[in-house]
Structure 1
C-alpha cells in the first residue's frame, strides 16, 4: 500500500500506432522514504506487476486492433529531479529495476521520452545508463523545450493528459489525470 501511494506513474492512453503509454513522474518521488517504508523486493515486485499489466494491455490492444502490439511508449517527467534522487541505495535499486525490466521484458520498449529534464539529468542518467543495453539506450530520447509538440507527433492529443500538452482530463476535470498517472 505504501508503494502504491508513493510511487507515481501509470498507464494513460495509446500512441498513434496503438501501443500503451506509461508515464513516470520522478520529481515528487521520495526514494529514501520509500526504501525505508518498503523492502527493495516489494518495490521490484510492484514494478514487475506494472510490466505485466502493460504486457496484458499489449495483448488486449493486439486483439482489439487486429495487429501485433508488443511495445510500450514511456514518458518520464523529470521535473523536480534533484540530488535527493541520487541517493546511492535508490540509484542501486533503480538499476536493479532496469536490469529486471531488460531481462524479463526484452524488446518491449518502443521509445522512452524524457521531458522537463533539469540540468542535473545528465548526471542522473550517467549513474544508471550502464544498467541498460545498447539497444535500450538508443530508444531514450531527451526532449527539449518543444517536448509537447514532439509528443503530439507520436500520440494523439486526446490520448495525452492536459498537463503534457494534450486534451485528456480525469473524469473530474483534473488536467494531471491522477487516476491514471
Structure 2
C-alpha cells in the first residue's frame, strides 16, 4: 500500500501540485474552500454542490484537471493541518467537510460526472486514508439518497460512518 501511494505521488507530481494553477474555468465554476476550523482546530472545508454544472464543467475542462484540482485541495488541506499543528501545539491530522447540497438534482446524476466523482473518492480513500474527521451533508434534497447510493460503493465502511446527513 505504501509503495502504491509513493508511486501515486510520483506519477501525479503531488509534491509540486500546490504550485499548479487549475484552468480558469475550474477556478471560476468549482465552488468550495476552507472556511475556518472546528472546535479541535481541524480545518473545515465547505463544498457547494447544488449550483454546480457538472456536465458543463466536464465538457469545458478535462476530467484529469478536475481530479488534479481535488488532489491539490487535499494537499493544501494537509498543509493547513501542519500549520494548525504548529500553531496549536497539538497534532492536527484530519479535516471536517461540509457538503451543501441545496439544489442537487437530476442534472448531477449525469453518468460521466458520477464516474469522475467516484474516481476522486477512490483516490481520496487510497491516498488520504483517515484524513476525514467528519462529513456533514446539509440541505440534502429528496434526491440525495439516490445520489448517495450511486457513490456509496466507492466509500469504505469507516468513511460511511463519518457521514452525517443533516437535512
Smaller-chain TM-score bracket: 0.7 to 0.9
Q: Kindly report which structure 2 residues correspond to 1:17-166, keeping only aligned pairs within 5 A, or say none.
A: 17-144=40-167
Question: TM-score, with normalisation over the residues of structure 2?
Answer: 0.85
Task: Report the Cα distance in structure 2 between the residues aligned to 1:10 and 1:78, rounded to whole angstroms.
Answer: 15
Q: Which runs of 4+ in 1 moved over 3 A?
A: none
Gaps of 5+ in 2: 1-23
What is the CA–CA distance in structure 2 between the aligned matches of 1:65 and 1:7, rounded to whole Å?
31
Q: Distance in 1 between matches of 2:83 and 2:122?
A: 26
The CA RMSD measured in Å over matched residues stands at 0.5
Gaps of 5+ in 1: 145-181
The Cα of 1:103 is off from its aligned counterpart by 1.1
CA shift for structure 1 position 82: 0.1
Report SS of the residue matched to 2:99: strand
What TM-score comes out, normalization by structure 1 length? 0.79
Higher helix share: 2
Structure 1 CA distance for aligned equivalents of residues 152 and 34 of structure 2: 23
